[in-house]
């Protein structure tokens, strides 16, 4: 998602509530992306561990 374009549109329309919503959504997306990366790394490590033990 293009967060900057969304913010600019809301600023042009003076939609403060939307700006807050965009900020919250961006923060949640960034947190989820970090969790996904962590889980993917754990999954890769587990596969490597399992491959070495068989």
Per-residue pLDDT of the chain (54 residues; tens, 9 = 90+): 588 888 888 888 888 888 889 999 999 999 999 999 999 999 999 998 888 876
Q: Domain total for the chain?
A: 1
- Structural domain that includes position 23: 3-52
pLDDT of residue 1: 58
What number of helices (H) and strands (E) belong to the chain?
A: 2, 0
Q: Residue 18: name the closest of 33, 32, 8 by CA.
A: 8
The whole model's pTM is what? Answer: 0.69
Distance CA 48, CA 8 (A): 45
């Amino acid at each position: 998602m293009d967060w900057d374009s969304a913010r600019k549109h809301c600023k042009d329309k003076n939609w403060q509530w939307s700006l807050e919503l965009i900020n919250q959504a961006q923060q949640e997306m960034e947190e989820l992306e970090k969790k996904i990366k962590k889980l993917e790394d754990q999954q890769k490590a587990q596969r490597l561990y399992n491959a070495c033990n068989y």
